[in-house]
Structure 1
Amino acid sequence: MAQHFLLSAKARTLSLAAILRMTDDEAHAAFVAIRWAATGGEPACPRCGCLAVYAYAVRRIWKCKACEHQFSVTSGTIFANRKLPIRDYLAAIAIFVNAVKGLSALQLGRDLDVQYKTAFVLAHKLREAIGSSQADTTLSGHVEVDGAYFGGTVRQENRKEDRKDRRLAENQSGKRQVVVVMRERGGRTLPFVFRREDDAVPTIRERVASGTTIYADEAPGWDALHARYDTRRINHSIAFSDDGACTNQAESYFARLRRAELGQHHHISGKYLGAYAREMAWREDTRRRPNGTLHGLATAAALGHPISRVWAGYWQRRRA
């Protein structure tokens, strides 16, 4: 019997121990090589793009000869105004990508020996960076569509006679949201958060190209898709798959998201649900790649992402 790829040595190309043994100069050189990979590791001014820069002797910064802007390897990126050594960021990314079902901020904070707040913001910055690649993605070919509800649960009463049917709207908290996923067979995964499943139809029309074959379950919210797409439905009360019509890959995505919620985070706040959903989509799309490749992809995404307007100075002001 053939060995699964993730169990083979080829899937382990990243060593956390090797990262922790890096000197400051080696870690800085690794960041430089990843951030400016397009210019062969030659620093370019983040303000004007000029390659004519000179390095300072006493500090790891450069100055542009054209606009005289001073910058470091993390200037203008999601790690701007960093406080931790670069080696710690490389280690944090390694720990993050190795956690196949997500990583709690508490565990990341313990591994890095930093406050929970620091780990919480750092993890969300990584989620924002890796999720940004999904912004302009359009799916085509064969796409599975499905939804799963998260949050809004109400604690049951102690005594049986006091308990209520939590399936009824009047017995819910009103915070329940649905994650709707569009998953291209053999391709990308796009999740979005809505109040109800049928609210996702306009987004599906925007993100899924015409001529695509869509696979969905028997939920009535997907009836509107028949007008534009070749839509094939599967009734899960009868079968999980019928002549190629199934939503198994969408369900696989939700299995990973559920495991992250139940096994790692235990509770996901509604305003952050989209960030966690995009993280799990990235993990699903890259699940067959070596962890060294994942580390390079996540680091490049972070160094290629501008300063976060959500997480920069998060704890210094109140968030709604």
Structure 2
Amino acid sequence: MVENSCTYPQTLVEAIRYFQDPAVCVEFMAQMRWPLGVECPHCQSKRHSFLRTRRIWKCLECRKQFSAKVGTVFEDSAIPLDKWLTAVWLVVNCKNGISSWELHRTLKVTQKAAWFMLHRIRTALQDVPFGKMGGPGVEVEVDETYVGAKAENIHKSRKERIKRLREQTVEPNSIMARYYAKTPIQGFLDREERKVRATVIPNVKRETLQERILSQVEKGSHVYTDQAMAYTHLQSHFVHEVVNHLETYVKGRVHTNGLENFWSLLKRSLKGSYVAVEPFHLFRYVDEQVFRYNNRATKENPLNDADRFLLAMHQVAGKRLTYAEVTGKAGTTPF
């Protein structure tokens, strides 16, 4: 649980009013980043002076100047903090996400800037898993889904490329050929913690899926999957039980309906808010939905909008996303 959120804005309207003063924005960022006192992001010294007219600090050790944005996903952005903070609030609290066009109209920034802002915020929302899910006796659902356009909606030029690749790597008329134009995502749901992990994967081959299961799930866990052949031979590491979706979707406690619910939420946001998502960027959209799902309000953890906002703000430091990276010019890949 985050610190007492009652001292901060509780609604979007309150947040806009609260952050309209640039000095308040800088003070808030300093509290989020340095709860024990401001320290230089370059040399970690706590000896500094504050240049009030410019709202920046000057380190008395390395002599470098720094703002509240340095060392965060907001670094090197000319967009003021009040708009950044409003954008973060919208992303984490809009259940189906917010498109770059909607953010462009709301904040009065260009659509291009709004698009880049959203990708930076999604980078901040990426969770770094600590340890594996599950444990002896703990139930973990494992499933995969596919995201992408239907074959009849794909542009002719792209269809030709897919057809050539399919002929080279996928057996014609096979099940894989049906989904070759789509991007696979694998997900895990820990029923005890009620947390999801999901990531884009390069393929759905047995070695790919099982390697990720071994890296994400503790041995001895009760692993529930569908009848896919890629999940065979997991019994040597887990208590593996299967539900055959050709016959039923629930077999006692054996089902993957929790993950199916998450896939439904993910696809609703992709189709409804974002409409067209390139495979290269898909992993960030998945991270965004994972953050919202894992920080939803439950009886055990009654988070509100302010709580989610503060959780997100605690994750903005130590992460960067450059325009070269987001456009693919830096040579990065999601896998």
Q: TM-score, normalised by structure 2?
A: 0.81
Distance in 2, matches of 1:271 and 1:313, equals: 11
Distance in 1, matches of 2:40 and 2:311, equals: 22
Map of 1:152-301 to 2, 5 A cutoff?
A: 153-155=150-152, 168=173, 174-187=180-193, 188-194=195-201, 195-196=203-204, 198=206, 199-288=208-297, 289-301=303-315
With over 3 angstroms needed to count, the CA separation of the structure-2 counterparts of 1:136 and 1:311, relative to structure 1, is farther
Distance in 1, matches of 2:133 and 2:229, equals: 22
Task: Tell me by how many angstroms 1:14 deviates.
Answer: 2.5
8 Å Cα contact 2:11/2:305 also seen in 1: no
Structure 2 portions without partners, runs of 5+: 1-5, 155-171, 298-302
Cα deviation code 1:90-141 (max 9, x no counterpart) = 111111122112221111111111111111111111111111x234442113
Letter matched to residue 204 of structure 2: R
CA RMSD of aligned residues (A): 2.7
Distance in 2, matches of 1:171 and 1:222, equals: 19
**Structure 1 equivalent of residue 34 of structure 2:** 36
Task: Tell me by how many angstroms 1:186 deviates.
Answer: 3.6
1:110 to 105, 113, 118: 105
1:51 to 37, 46, 54: 46
Letter matched to residue 101 of structure 1: N
Distance in 1, matches of 2:235 and 2:282, equals: 29
Question: Secondary structure of 1:134's match?
Answer: coil
With over 3 angstroms needed to count, the CA separation of the structure-2 counterparts of 1:58 and 1:156, relative to structure 1, is closer
With over 3 angstroms needed to count, the CA separation of the structure-2 counterparts of 1:181 and 1:171, relative to structure 1, is closer
* 1:306 matches 2:303: no
8 Å Cα contact 2:146/2:184 also seen in 1: yes
Cα deviation code 1:210-246 (max 9, x no counterpart) = 1111111111111132221111111122222222111
Paired residue total: 296
Distance in 2, matches of 1:262 and 1:201, equals: 29
Letter matched to residue 94 of structure 1: W
With over 3 angstroms needed to count, the CA separation of the structure-2 counterparts of 1:79 and 1:262, relative to structure 1, is same
Task: Tell me by how many angstroms 1:172 deviates.
Answer: 5.8
With over 3 angstroms needed to count, the CA separation of the structure-2 counterparts of 1:317 and 1:273, relative to structure 1, is closer
Cα deviation code 1:178-227 (max 9, x no counterpart) = 11101111422111222225322101101111111111111111113222
Distance in 1, matches of 2:242 and 2:177, equals: 31
**Structure 2 equivalent of residue 160 of structure 1:** none
Question: Secondary structure of 2:49's match?
Answer: strand
Task: Tell me by how many angstroms 1:78 deviates.
Answer: 1.1
With over 3 angstroms needed to count, the CA separation of the structure-2 counterparts of 1:315 and 1:228, relative to structure 1, is closer
Distance in 2, matches of 1:87 and 1:240, equals: 47
8 Å Cα contact 1:124/1:311 also seen in 2: no
Distance in 2, matches of 1:17 and 1:200, equals: 44
Cα deviation code 1:25-52 (max 9, x no counterpart) = 1122111111112x1xx21111221111
With over 3 angstroms needed to count, the CA separation of the structure-2 counterparts of 1:115 and 1:98, relative to structure 1, is same
Question: Secondary structure of 2:319's match?
Answer: coil
Distance in 2, matches of 1:124 and 1:174, equals: 26
Task: Tell me by how many angstroms 1:20 deviates.
Answer: 2.1
Task: Tell me by how many angstroms 1:319 deviates.
Answer: 6.6
Question: Secondary structure of 2:144's match?
Answer: strand
Task: Tell me by how many angstroms 1:312 deviates.
Answer: 6.1
Deviates more, 1:190-199 or 1:200-209: 190-199
Distance in 2, matches of 1:311 and 1:225, equals: 41
Deviates more, 1:203-212 or 1:189-198: 189-198
Letter matched to residue 262 of structure 2: Y
Letter matched to residue 307 of structure 2: T
Cα deviation code 1:136-163 (max 9, x no counterpart) = 4421132100011112532269xxxxxx
Question: Secondary structure of 1:231's match?
Answer: strand
2:144 to 132, 147, 153: 147
Q: Percent identity?
A: 23
